[in-house]
């Protein structure tokens, strides 16, 4: 075995590989199942709009050329859609890349970074890779955001405050009043990164985007969004950020690769933005299905946290990989959560009606075989 310890940065010690799960091919090969319900990555089972599929059928004549590094057509369309200056927008190979870009751009070793916990792991991982010291604001035993602790932490000096609203994996959210309180309390020198990957799904609840509130401030902030979830373009990898100023966006551009968004993804995103009705119909279906799945697992003793995302988060009563492995054996893929203190929890995405039925039937069959969950009030 080759010793590479002297080559690798010390800040990578203790960082676990990202839990991206098995591919459909790998699951079929390992478990011999054909009908697979892939409910681990919060993808949109309905896929992209017909307008996007029409664009994808047209093979662009200039694929031998590098894509537009500024994504200018998409930039213009999206700026109008969001009512922002085009110079405020930055694009990434998924919003995951933007998290990496932000961390590489702003964090120095020893900087304090605040986040909610449990969190989307890359919020912490990319920060720690750059040498940050993390301050975690954990949910309480009822999986509620500790709003007062968050506001108190936000009011003190830190290099960055980063969290998802709604939270991933829990699904909880800051209501408009608490979000405003946090923004008002935030230390003026702290960069706020508000990850709104599930913004479109959350619009039906007691929720609002932070965009309007943040635009009314003079602070430094970035809102992250993605085309991977509600827009159904996860396979093309395209996300974007709204920056508080063109100057901040220009600084972030220094650490991104120049051709990070491929030409097909740019075309597809423009087409997706023209199909608002399709996206909204998909969201309405997902919300109905989320309620149905939540009620079904509650009857089996699994109490999910209230969620405004396209997923549910619940305690299995044992190591989460136990249940996820049993479901995999049957052909249903869920995500066992592995962050410390929450490794008995599973996150299940809301899929199609057929996929959700398969998940419900499989978890019922495991109960009949004697697999018992924890029951919570």
Orientation angle between helical segments 24-31 and 320-330, nearest 10 degrees: 80
The arithmetic mean of pLDDT across residues 145-170, rounded, is 98
* pLDDT confidence band for 345 (50 / 70 / 90): very high
State the Cα–Cα distance between residues 138 and 115, nearest whole angstrom.
Answer: 9
The predicted structure's pLDDT at residue 4? 85
The predicted structure's pLDDT at residue 372? 65
The arithmetic mean of pLDDT across residues 195-200, rounded, is 97
The predicted structure's pLDDT at residue 13? 84
Could you tell me how many residues make up the chain?
377
The predicted structure's pLDDT at residue 316? 94
State the Cα–Cα distance between residues 315 and 118, nearest whole angstrom.
Answer: 13
Residue 294 has pLDDT above 90, yes or no: yes
State the Cα–Cα distance between residues 40 and 361, nearest whole angstrom.
Answer: 17
State the Cα–Cα distance between residues 1 and 99, nearest whole angstrom.
Answer: 33
Q: Cβ distance 211 to 223 under 8 Å?
A: yes
Q: Cβ distance 78 to 265 under 8 Å?
A: no
* pLDDT confidence band for 9 (50 / 70 / 90): confident
* pLDDT confidence band for 119 (50 / 70 / 90): very high
Share of the chain above pLDDT 90, in %: 85
Q: Which H or E run contains 86?
A: none
The predicted structure's pLDDT at residue 63? 85
User: What would the pLDDT profile of 298-332 be if each residue is shown by its tens digit?
Assistant: 999 999 999 999 999 999 999 999 999 999 999 99
* pLDDT confidence band for 373 (50 / 70 / 90): low
The predicted structure's pLDDT at residue 12? 87
- 241, β-bridge pairs: 90, 224
Mean pLDDT over all residues of the chain? 94
Token digits of residue 371: 């697999």
Orientation angle between helical segments 320-330 and 353-368, nearest 10 degrees: 110
Looking at CATH, the fold of the domain delimited by 10-47+277-368 is given as 3.90.1150
| Cα angle 76-105-188, degrees, rounded to a multiple of 5 | 85
Nearest to 216 by CA among 244, 189, 186: 244
State the Cα–Cα distance between residues 227 and 332, nearest whole angstrom.
Answer: 25
State the Cα–Cα distance between residues 247 and 73, nearest whole angstrom.
Answer: 21
Domain residue extents for the chain: 10-47+277-368, 50-273
User: What would the pLDDT profile of 160-176 be if each residue is shown by its tens digit?
Assistant: 999 999 999 999 999 99
- 349, β-bridge pairs: 311
Region of residue 199 (left: phi > 0; alpha: psi -120 to 50; beta: else): alpha
- Is CATH 3.30.1490.20 correct for 50-273? no
* pLDDT confidence band for 377 (50 / 70 / 90): very low
The position carrying tokens 């008995």 is: 344
Nearest to 246 by CA among 121, 354, 85, 25: 85
The predicted structure's pLDDT at residue 374? 52
User: Of 59 and 121, which is predicted with more confidence?
Assistant: 121
């Amino acid at each position: 075995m080759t010793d590479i310890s002297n080559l690798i940065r010390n800040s990578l010690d203790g960082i676990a590989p990202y839990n991206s799960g098995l591919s459909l091919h790998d699951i079929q090969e390992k478990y011999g199942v054909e009908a697979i319900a892939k409910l681990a990555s919060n993808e949109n089972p309905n896929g992209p709009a017909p307008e996007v599929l029409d664009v994808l059928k047209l093979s662009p004549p200039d694929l031998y050329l590098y894509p537009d590094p500024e994504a200018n057509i998409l930039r213009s369309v999206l700026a109008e859609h969001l009512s922002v200056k085009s110079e405020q927008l930055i694009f990434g190979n998924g919003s995951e890349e933007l998290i990496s870009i932000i961390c590489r751009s702003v964090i120095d070793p020893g900087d304090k970074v605040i986040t909610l916990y449990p969190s989307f792991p890359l919020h912490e991982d990319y920060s720690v890779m750059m040498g940050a010291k993390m301050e975690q604001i954990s949910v309480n035993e009822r999986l509620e955001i500790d709003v007062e602790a968050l506001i108190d932490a936000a009011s003190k000096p830190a290099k960055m405050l980063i969290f998802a609203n709604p939270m991933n994996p829990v699904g909880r959210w800051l209501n408009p009043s608490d979000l405003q309180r946090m923004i008002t309390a935030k230390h003026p020198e702290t960069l706020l990164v508000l990850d709104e990957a599930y913004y479109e799904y959350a619009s039906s609840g007691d929720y609002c985007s932070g965009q309007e509130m943040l635009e009314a401030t003079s602070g430094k902030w970035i809102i992250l969004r993605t085309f991977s979830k509600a827009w159904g373009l996860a396979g093309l990898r395209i996300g974007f950020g709204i920056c508080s100023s063109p100057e901040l966006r220009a600084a972030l551009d220094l650490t991104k690769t120049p051709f990070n968004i491929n030409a097909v993804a740019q075309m597809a995103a423009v087409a997706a933005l023209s199909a608002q009705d399709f996206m909204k119909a998909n969201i309405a279906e997902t919300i109905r299905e989320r309620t149905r799945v939540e009620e079904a697992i509650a009857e089996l003793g699994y109490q999910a946290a209230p969620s405004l995302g396209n997923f549910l988060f619940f305690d299995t009563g044992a190591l989460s990989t136990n249940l996820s492995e049993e479901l995999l054996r049957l052909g249903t893929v869920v995500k066992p959560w592995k962050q410390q203190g929450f490794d008995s929890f599973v996150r299940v995405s809301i899929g199609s009606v057929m996929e959700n039925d398969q998940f419900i039937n499989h978890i019922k069959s495991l109960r009949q075989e004697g697999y018992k969950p924890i029951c919570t009030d």
